[in-house]
Structure 1
Amino acid sequence: MSAGNIRLYSYWRSSAAYRVRIALNLKGLPFETMPVHLLQDGGQQHTPEFNDLNPQELVPVLMHGNRILRQSMSIIEYLDETWPTPPLMPATARERQRVRAIAQMIACDIHPLNNLRVLQFMDKTWNVPQAERDTWTRHWIKVGLDAVEDTLCDNPSTGDFCDGEQPTLADCCLVPQVFNAERFGVDMAPYRTIRRIVQNCLAMDEFKAARPENQPDAPAPGGN
């Protein structure tokens, strides 16, 4: 299928959008970034115009022609099924299950607990101080990464990447989560395997181009 017109509604620091940028780059698919600033004007994701695209008022949203695609994990699987080369999933059912499990450990169990809307609720509804919100975030990232590291280390399926010698859906999820961990000051020293895999990923141009600081809506250093 032709790539046609692909637009990604994204926020430079959104880890979910970051996942999709990596997948698009790995597939070699050109796309236009449509910035949605999650903090300005009370959050541009809450505008009626964006609500029409995604009633959840979350990024990313991918437009492929007239198709509206939501939820980063399903967007990535759509890309992989529509443009199967290079594959983002392994060849066997057992290995595909392992890749999905690692990806969901991050996307379903770590990321939702340190998502912007959760932290904003803690701030605006419960008046939780910034230091305590940061402690909450670091705690749940660490709990999750402990499990991911244990899953990856010394496993014969782990190679240069989470599964084997080519990036998969799991790597698309891992790299943005490590970005978040470092942003919140999580000590990454204990995560030997994770750090090695992320280093391998970030050596690739496709991952470099997807980095938050390289996005068109990224602010000058020190901005939001």
Structure 2
Amino acid sequence: MQLHSFFNSSTSYRVRIALALKGLSYDYLPVNIRTGAHHEPQYVEHINPSAAVPALVDGDFRLGQSLAIVDYLDAVYPEPRLIPLDPHQRARVLELAYLVSCDMHPVNNLRVLRYLQDVLGASPEQKDAWYRHWITEGMAGVERLLARDRQGDWCFGDQPTLADCCLVPQIANALRMNCDLSAYPRSLEIYRRALEHPAFEVAQPQRQPDYVG
């Protein structure tokens, strides 16, 4: 198995966590999205037509999009499950995962921030204000979901799920961008627990072979 990944990509981070939770070994193949390696014709044509990271190669099967990858891993390597089978539990996990991956991450990823600065002419201060606005909007929603539905030590139970795989990288990125997350104690509690979990620890950006400080 191969994972095409970038150390600081939160979507790649999600998949690294999932692979570690399932105890699956893989070859790490760096794709530097800062230098545009994800747009190189060879990568787009043969690995990921979406021109993005992550991309998983499992034998002859190639797949992009982090949530699709985790769903695939659950289907082929089902233990431990990250997306519950129970309809209500599944819906809760996906609700939070989608809030992070659909509402928060897309408006704050590298290509959007670069477009704001390089094409629309936003100042660094305006770009940072944009980022923090969407973090505040999204994390407030996450915290309300956890206040309503959280069970156990993690987002939804006593074991990590896809919700935790999405939430932890988003918090890591927000902290890296100097966002104040003190208003979200439930989320931070889960994040701190994850820092002590071996699967989350080994998936951290600074543990990856392409890490640049």
Fold similarity call, TM over 0.5: yes
d(CA) in 1 for partners of 2:91, 2:148: 18
* Amino acid in the other structure paired with 1:18: Y
Post-superposition offset of 1:79: 0.3
Post-superposition offset of 1:131: 1.4
Residue matched to 1:3: none
Describe the superposition over 1:133-177 as per-residue Cα deviations: whole angstroms up to 9, x where unpaired: 11101110110000000110253x422001010000000000000
TM-score, normalised by the number of residues in structure 2: 0.97
Q: Out of 32, 42, 50, which is 1:49 matched to?
A: 42
Residue matched to 1:209: 202
| Contact preservation (8 Å) 2:55, 2:64 | yes
d(CA) in 1 for partners of 2:195, 2:109: 23
Post-superposition offset of 1:124: 1.6
| Contact preservation (8 Å) 2:50, 2:64 | no
d(CA) in 1 for partners of 2:93, 2:39: 33
d(CA) in 2 for partners of 1:81, 1:39: 32
d(CA) in 1 for partners of 2:148, 2:89: 16
Deviates more, 1:208-217 or 1:81-90: 81-90
Q: Structure 2 unaligned runs (5+)?
A: none
Post-superposition offset of 1:117: 0.7
% identity of equivalent residues = 42
d(CA) in 2 for partners of 1:39, 1:102: 28
* Amino acid in the other structure paired with 1:26: L
Describe the superposition over 1:58-92 as per-residue Cα deviations: whole angstroms up to 9, x where unpaired: 10000001111110001001001111111112341
Residue matched to 2:72: 78
Q: Out of 8, 31, 37, which is 1:36 matched to?
A: 31
Alignment of 1:108-123 (within 5 A): 108-123=102-117
Residue matched to 2:7: 12
Q: Out of 146, 166, 190, which is 2:159 matched to?
A: 166
| Contact preservation (8 Å) 2:93, 2:161 | yes
* Amino acid in the other structure paired with 2:74: D
TM-score, normalised by the number of residues in structure 1: 0.92
d(CA) in 2 for partners of 1:159, 1:34: 35
Q: Which runs of 4+ in 1 moved over 3 A?
A: none
CA RMSD between the two structures: 1.0
Give aligned pairs, total: 212
